[in-house]
Structure 1
Amino acid sequence: MLQVSYIRDNREQVLERLAVKNFKQPELVDEIIELDDKRRSTQTSMDNVSAEANAAAKQIGELMRNGKKAEAEEIKAKTGAWKEDIKKFGDQLALTEEELYQKLVLLPNLPHSSVPKGLTPEENEVVLENGTIPELPANALPHWELAAKYNLIDFELGVKITGAGFPVYKNKGAKLQRALINYFIDEAEKAGYSEVSVPLMVNEASGFGTSQLPDKEGQMYFVGIDNLYLIPTAEVPITNMFRDVILKADELPAKHCGHTPCFRREAGSYGAHVRGLNRLHQFDKVEIVQVVHPDKSYETLEQMSAHVQGLLQSLGLPYRVLRLCGGDMGFGSALTYDMETWSAAQQRWLEVSSVSNFETFQSNRLKLRFRNAEGKTQLAHTLNGSALALPRIVATLLENNQTDRGIKIPEVLVPYTKFEWID
């Protein structure tokens, strides 16, 4: 959530940056400033009446001590009107603050100055490409056919048990899944992240804190009877560990990682591009989260991007890094890098990670602060990233490493899988 003071002091810049994100309600900016004017005016009026009432109370006390009861009673007769005025201003202030809050939560985060303009994924900026695109034989299979051939994943069994988008991993497919999770967690710990195991359901306050709510409620599974949401990513519970927390300066950066299943409704997703593992309603992911000093957040973003790229390089997967354009960014992000791997059998790029800097957008909602060198509290910056999401990693590993003998397991995974081939 943006800070009102920043919006007031930087109106033109706010409107300019919101335009980069293709925000459709720029009039909200002026409405927020007008409501803040009203809030300030009401607060001043209430403070003035309160000051007058407090001064009168002291005067009444002095008059009573000096035996001037009549004069004291005369002033005391006015206190009822002051109390009514204070209540009236208090009620008006509460209504104005609530209206202001409801407007503020509709504003997305402002994109960083480096974010390119654009509306669609095709307008994202390619930052770099790495690795060699494999050339497969003409009879190469897509991952869903490889999964059936080697009895790795049963999509139809998942449909029977739950529905489309809930696959059942079997045999070496299940072992490969577990190997990747353990490898990603181990690499995150080597990079200084502390592992946590978090709940798979969160309350509304948690969803709001990380800006999934009220923006993405239609994409989240909701357990109505308990008013809880299944997590779309471990970012939500891990970041909310710091809700209403004031950290010491020497506790920054706070670095955590965690593996969870993730649940996404993916409403409206259909067609050939979502076949197999390309888009699921339930999938596993290892998430990395950092809470950092504001001066360090963009340096940290590059470090987190480098960590994800190191994982892709170690797996031997060709990949590219995209800087998302304003129209393709998330509601709360100031800058997002997407990492995509090349699917050799499908002949297209598949997103496997997003790494984002939220600056103070989440921390303002979370009331996540730290005490700086001067002893004053200020909002921290939050960042998170997929390191990595498994389905499309599995898809590209199967497709890119298929041979006449079978599927070759990357060397770094063999200590985890305990096998070198799927055959």
Structure 2
Amino acid sequence: MLQINYIRENRDAVIERLAVKNFKDATLVDHLIQLDDSRRKIQNESDALAAEANAASKQIGDFMRQGNKAEADRVKSESAGYKDQVKQLTEKLAEVEQELNSKIVLLPNLPHTSVPKGLVPEDNEVVLENGTVPKLQENALSHWDLLMKYDIVDLELGVKVTGAGFPVYKGKGARLQRALINFFLDQAADEGYNEVQVPIMVNEASAFATGQLPDKDGQMYYVAQDELYLIPTAEVPVTNLYRDVIVKEEQFPIKHAAYTPCFRREAGSYGAHVRGLNRLHQFDKVETVQLVHPDKSYEVLEEMSLYIQGLLQKLELPYRVLRLCGGDMGFTSALTFDMEVYSAAQERWLEVSSVSNFETYQSNRLKVRFKNSNGKMQLAHTLNGSALALPRIVASILENNQTDKGVRIPNVLVPYTGFEWID
């Protein structure tokens, strides 16, 4: 979340940057400043009253030691109400702080100055394109038809077992999934990421710390009896490994990779753009997360983007990189690059990864800090990137590599799959 001191000192700039994300409720910004004014006033009154009470207590002690009981009783009588007044101010302060904390989390992160203005995905900025879009034969099939043709993913069986958006992978489809997971994890290890295996359910504190709550409340699967949330991404449990932790500056960059299934309720249910594997309620993903020194975070963001692009190149998939506009960015992100692969059969671009810099937005909630070279506590910067989400990668591999013989497996995956063709 944003820091109230920064909001106070940069009110106009905060409102201007929030407008880039199409958050135009300037009244909330002013309300937060007013709440902070009240908090400071009450705190000052409480501190002053506590100081008077301490002084009175000292006076009483001095008079008693001098044997002057009359003066001691007088001061005691005059200060008798201090305790109740301090209690009342403490309760009032707690109420104001609670309201301040409940309102400040409604502000999204401020977008980086390079974020373009815009409302919809069409306003995103294309940074680069790489690779050649394949030209398929006239009888080319969409991936959902290929899934049925080769019997590698059963969508209807998933509906029977659970519901729409929960596919069953079979035979070579299941082996391709496992191959991609292992390939991505091995590549992450080669890049210096420390692999972790984390829970796929988190508590409310964890969901709040990375910004899923309250922003995504209602969009995550919730187990009410246990008050736990199924994770929408491994970013949540991995980043929370460092909640309330003071790390050492020399530990930076802290790099983790994790494979998890992911669960998202908001997946759509109509139209070609959500058919097949295009959008699911449950899917597999390898996530990369970094905690870094604030001076290095945008350099690291570029490195993470290049790393993910390298994975797409090794998979022989044509892709493009987008700088997301303000209206299409996530609530917690300061700057996001999306990677999209081209689906030849669908003739459109499919998002397969987002890499984001959250600056201190998450770390302020997480309270993950380090002591800088001047000996002062400072918030770390957090970043994450999908490396990669599997469903649309599988869809693009199937569509782009289909031939009369079958579907050709990218060379880099053959040692993992144990086969060269799906036929």
Q: Tell me the TM-score range normalised by the shorter chain.
A: over 0.9
Give the superposition deviation at 1:34: 0.6
Provide the rounded CA distance (Å) in 2 between the counterparts of 1:169 and 1:24. Answer: 45
Residues 4 and 269 of structure 1: is their aligned pair in 2 closer, same or farther, counting only changes over 3 Å?
farther
Determine the structure 2 residue equivalent to 1:308: 308
Q: Cα deviation per residue 1:376-404 (whole Å; 9 max; x = unaligned)?
A: 21111000010000000000000001111
Provide the rounded CA distance (Å) in 2 between the counterparts of 1:39 and 1:252. Answer: 35
* Count of aligned positions: 423
Determine the structure 1 residue equivalent to 2:205: 205
Q: What SS does the aligned partner of 2:341 have?
A: strand
Determine the structure 1 residue equivalent to 2:46: 46
Determine the structure 1 residue equivalent to 2:320: 320
Q: Where do 5+ consecutive residues of structure 2 fail to align?
A: none
Q: What SS does the aligned partner of 1:218 have?
A: coil
Kindly indicate whether residue 338 of structure 2 is the aligned counterpart of residue 338 of structure 1: yes
Q: Where do 5+ consecutive residues of structure 1 fail to align?
A: none
Q: Which residue type is aligned with residue 198 of structure 1?
A: V
Determine the structure 2 residue equivalent to 1:359: 359
Give the superposition deviation at 1:267: 5.3
Q: Which residue type is aligned with residue 367 of structure 2?
A: K
Q: Which residue type is aligned with residue 206 of structure 1?
A: S
Q: Cα deviation per residue 1:307-350 (whole Å; 9 max; x = unaligned)?
A: 10000000000000000000000000000000000000000000
Q: Which residue type is aligned with residue 237 of structure 1?
A: P
Provide the rounded CA distance (Å) in 2 between the counterparts of 1:333 and 1:369. Answer: 19
Q: Which residue type is aligned with residue 23 of structure 1?
A: F
Q: What SS does the aligned partner of 2:242 have?
A: coil
Provide the rounded CA distance (Å) in 1 between the counterparts of 2:400 and 2:268. Answer: 29
Provide the rounded CA distance (Å) in 1 between the counterparts of 2:404 and 2:381. Answer: 50
Q: What SS does the aligned partner of 1:374 have?
A: coil
Q: What SS does the aligned partner of 2:59 have?
A: helix
Determine the structure 2 residue equivalent to 1:385: 385
Q: Cα deviation per residue 1:162-207 (whole Å; 9 max; x = unaligned)?
A: 0000000000000000000000000011111000000010011100
- Trace 1:282-297 onto structure 2 (pairs within 5 A): 282-297=282-297
Answer yes or no: is the 8 Å Cα contact 2:268–2:274 preserved in 1. Answer: no
Give the superposition deviation at 1:247: 0.4
Q: Which runs of 4+ in 1 moved over 3 A?
A: none
Provide the rounded CA distance (Å) in 2 between the counterparts of 1:164 and 1:373. Answer: 53
Give the superposition deviation at 1:268: 4.8
Answer yes or no: is the 8 Å Cα contact 1:368–1:380 preserved in 2. Answer: yes
Answer yes or no: is the 8 Å Cα contact 1:219–1:267 preserved in 2. Answer: no
Determine the structure 1 residue equivalent to 2:19: 19
Provide the rounded CA distance (Å) in 2 between the counterparts of 1:294 and 1:237. Answer: 22
Provide the rounded CA distance (Å) in 2 between the counterparts of 1:163 and 1:252. Answer: 43
Residues 393 and 268 of structure 1: is their aligned pair in 2 closer, same or farther, counting only changes over 3 Å?
closer
Worse-superposed segment, 254-263 or 268-277: 268-277
Provide the rounded CA distance (Å) in 1 between the counterparts of 2:93 and 2:320. Answer: 51
Provide the rounded CA distance (Å) in 1 between the counterparts of 2:79 and 2:411. Answer: 81
Identity of aligned residues (%): 71
Q: CA RMSD in A?
A: 0.8
TM-score normalized with structure 2 length: 0.99
- Trace 1:104-143 onto structure 2 (pairs within 5 A): 104-143=104-143
Kindly indicate whether residue 152 of structure 2 is the aligned counterpart of residue 152 of structure 1: yes
